[in-house]
Copies of this chain bind each other. A is one copy, B any other.
């Protein structure tokens, strides 16, 4: 008996898969293995009981037999959900509530509450994720400064807050308020000189090592799922996969804490991806409060999509961009109702964050841009070049990072994650400290690079030679020649660029929370600023060149280097993630005007095209593939000419499909079939001869029904006949009482003919979210295609190893 490959022992394959790794390394290091005791996981996810628990609840079981579909969630860990079924279960629930609501006022109020629960969940998600984002921002700010020094008046103040509260200095003189003391000053009294420098250097590295050690240890001990950016896993979960505990309370707590530590340690990583994970954990947490969402995996995923939008909203202060990110990049099933609710959640989150005001400027992000100087058509050339750079960086990053992660997965390197994190932190800190552009936090760096040089700007990057005769207003400064500070800054930026490019490749994917939006943007912003200053100086010194003649008169403000930084950041982010609309909208929300949409779009489009030329997948898809998640991408076009008959099981030469007949099988036979195979379900046919399909029965339902009948129903014994027809078969009176199982039979299994092109089959699997589909020819059952078979076939067609896809 061969067949349906709907395996039901969930852990088996995964266990096998990770056996190799497990031999190499302690269990906690496998990011994707549930580490907590089963009880905790069940509580965290809050959906389904284990089968044994259900068997004990006998009332539950009788209900179950009365209903055509069991009402409890029937998905095991690492299984994929059946969207159609979830949807029809929700409609049933809704129908029941609507009909009940006419009975009494209390039921009517309950139905109203049910209708409102979606909005309540969104409100709660918005509030909590906004608050968490604010707390994370404040904590990161404080701890990043802690590496350099401490505030004497109140140690919990960051450098900026410390100098704000001190009345003795002006705002501009940020670095020199007496309340803030560098470690060397505090410990030895010296602020200048080699000794003080070495001491500060040493303490900077030590603090960084301490933070990252704490982060990796917390992840290791409490929540292995808290590592990484989380977006690939969330994409997979939203597409209908179950990973228990990935969005649990522990993960939420530990990810929030370790994210602060990881960012503060100065590693080349950002908080944006992990914030999406944190927001999705909030979504899961609140959806478990309402049975509408906790009992339906499909509805739960609607909430998670909205939560992802809220996460991006607080990460970039871009509510609309967040919704589009969720729509474009993360979500799988995104009905219009969800769009509206996501928008609500994203707005609430943004306003919560704004009322916390972590940056003290009533902006949601540190790198909000306020200038509105115009740009010129000729500048499109450098913008497009930045786009090319972004695409190349995207390709380099994805290839390098995937190669390194594969190495980590397959070699002894993976055994020592703490050591790896400490080593990378050490190298990062040692290399970062001497360069002022890498020493500060990456967000601050991006903020400075995005800025335009005003007249009062005191930073090195704005060290231009001012015309002493200048009579113009201060906010309209013409292009000026660069001073020595700018040239120093250029060198330092170039070094920072090389450093960021390489260290980021090794950082992303370590066993700590790590996002790559900020590092990618930093790479692009540095490159963009360098190009911008170069163009600006060329335009200043060579007004008469043909390329500048038409648009840049002497004394005009032609070139805004900050805009180049912004364009570069968009290009690099686009190259890595392959975002399109959401990227432009996020950037648009950062600038709040339509002025710069054309430069940003030109760079984003170029970057995507260049990167796509080297490989279609973005970093998230690459990680999904690396980890073998069963993700059926909506964006991939399936263009091969194979037919359903080429994909279905059993193949030619394999034993026939394990089927049940509608009558004539005994309880014993069925139990033997269940015992001998591990398929998730069995087709039911009229008879073995005609092979005409009448339905599909789930393994789980079959097991429960037989067990319950043996316990509760008199006369059901091993040689009782099982029948799926409407009427009991005609049997001699001497035979034991037959067992009717029509109620657990799904009478509308999805079928396609063997001649259906796989292209159509893939489309059906995607759009309807099927788990399996039966294949027939002229009404005869021929075989079965599961989601796994589809994914394997697609991998095969793309010349990848089909065995790399792991799921049950």
Contacts and interface: CB of A to CB of B under 8 A. Distances in A.
Interface of A: 84, 87-88, 91, 94-95, 98, 319-320, 323, 328, 336, 339-340, 343-344, 347, 350-351, 580-581, 584-585, 588-589, 592-594, 597-598, 601, 605, 634-635, 637, 639, 641, 644, 686, 690, 692-694, 747-749, 751-753, 755-757, 759-760, 763-764, 767-768, 776-780
A601 B344 contact: yes
17 contacts: A84-B763, A91-B637, A319-B597, A339-B581, A343-B584, A344-B601, A347-B597, A347-B598, A592-B592, A644-B748, A686-B778, A690-B779, A693-B778, A748-B753, A748-B755, A748-B757, A751-B751
Contacts of A84: 760, 763
A777 B763 CA distance: 24
Contacts of A639: 91, 94-95, 98
A776 B779 CA distance: 8
A768 B764 contact: yes
A368 to B, nearest CB: 11
A347 B597 CA distance: 8
A579 to B, nearest CB: 10
A336 B634 contact: yes
Contacts of A778: 686, 692-694, 779
A641 to B, nearest CB: 7
A641 B767 contact: no
Nearest to A342: B581
Contacts of A634: 336
A635 to B, nearest CB: 6
A692 B780 CA distance: 9
Contacts of A644: 748
Contacts of A593: 592
Contacts of A605: 344
Contact of A756 (B592, B748, B756): B748
A356 to B, nearest CB: 16
A95 B752 CA distance: 23
Contacts of A589: 594
A580 B592 CA distance: 21
A88 B15 CA distance: 40
A270 to B, nearest CB: 22
A588 B84 CA distance: 37
**A-B complex: 3 closest residue pairs judged by Cβ atoms:** A779-B779, A747-B755, A748-B756
A593 B362 CA distance: 13
B585 A320 contact: yes
A760 B779 contact: no
Contacts of A641: 95
Given A84-B763, A639-B94, A764-B768, A340 B756 contact: no
A780 B584 CA distance: 54
Contact of A319 (B339, B347, B580, B594): B594
Contacts of A320: 320, 585, 588
Nearest to A605: B344
A50 B95 CA distance: 48
Contacts of A693: 778-779
Nearest to A751: B751
Contact of A752 (B98, B748, B779): B748
A180 B639 CA distance: 65
Scoring A593, A641, A759 by chain B CB atoms within 10 A of each residue's CB, the highest score goes to A759
A186 to B, nearest CB: 41
A800 B87 CA distance: 26
A153 B242 CA distance: 75
Contacts of A598: 347, 351
A320 B586 CA distance: 11
A235 to B, nearest CB: 14
A693 B94 CA distance: 36
Contact of A760 (B328, B336, B748): B748
A336 B328 contact: yes
Nearest to A767: B767
A39 B291 CA distance: 61
A424 to B, nearest CB: 35
Given A88-B759, A755-B748, A767-B767, A581 B319 contact: no
A736 to B, nearest CB: 27
Contacts of A756: 747-748
A58 to B, nearest CB: 29
A88 B757 contact: yes
A116 to B, nearest CB: 11
Contacts of A776: 779
Nearest to A764: B768
A690 B778 CA distance: 10
Scoring A340, A693, A763, A779 by chain B CB atoms within 10 A of each residue's CB, the highest score goes to A779
Given A692-B778, A692-B780, 13 more contacts: A84-B760, A87-B759, A88-B757, A319-B594, A323-B581, A328-B339, A339-B580, A339-B581, A343-B580, A686-B778, A748-B760, A749-B753, A779-B779
A587 to B, nearest CB: 12
A779 B87 CA distance: 26
A340 B779 contact: no
Contacts of A759: 87-88, 91
Contacts of A328: 336, 339
Contacts of A779: 690, 692-693, 776, 778-780
A433 to B, nearest CB: 38
A641 B580 CA distance: 42
A98 B498 CA distance: 39
A640 to B, nearest CB: 8
Nearest to A344: B601
Contacts of A592: 592-593
A332 to B, nearest CB: 12
A152 B98 CA distance: 69
A187 to B, nearest CB: 45
Scoring A594, A605, A749 by chain B CB atoms within 10 A of each residue's CB, the highest score goes to A594
Contacts of A751: 751, 753
A767 B333 CA distance: 12
A386 to B, nearest CB: 19
Nearest to A343: B581
A751 B94 CA distance: 27
A393 B315 CA distance: 39
Nearest to A597: B347
Contacts of A94: 639
A336 B768 CA distance: 17
Nearest to A321: B320
A88 B351 contact: no
B760 A635 contact: no
A148 to B, nearest CB: 33
A721 to B, nearest CB: 20
A237 B654 CA distance: 48
Contacts of A692: 692, 778-780
Contacts of A347: 597-598, 601
A91 B87 CA distance: 30
B340 A580 contact: yes
A594 B748 contact: no
A238 to B, nearest CB: 15
A781 to B, nearest CB: 8
A574 B694 CA distance: 48
Contact of A747 (B323, B336, B753, B780): B753
A94 B605 CA distance: 22
B594 A336 contact: no
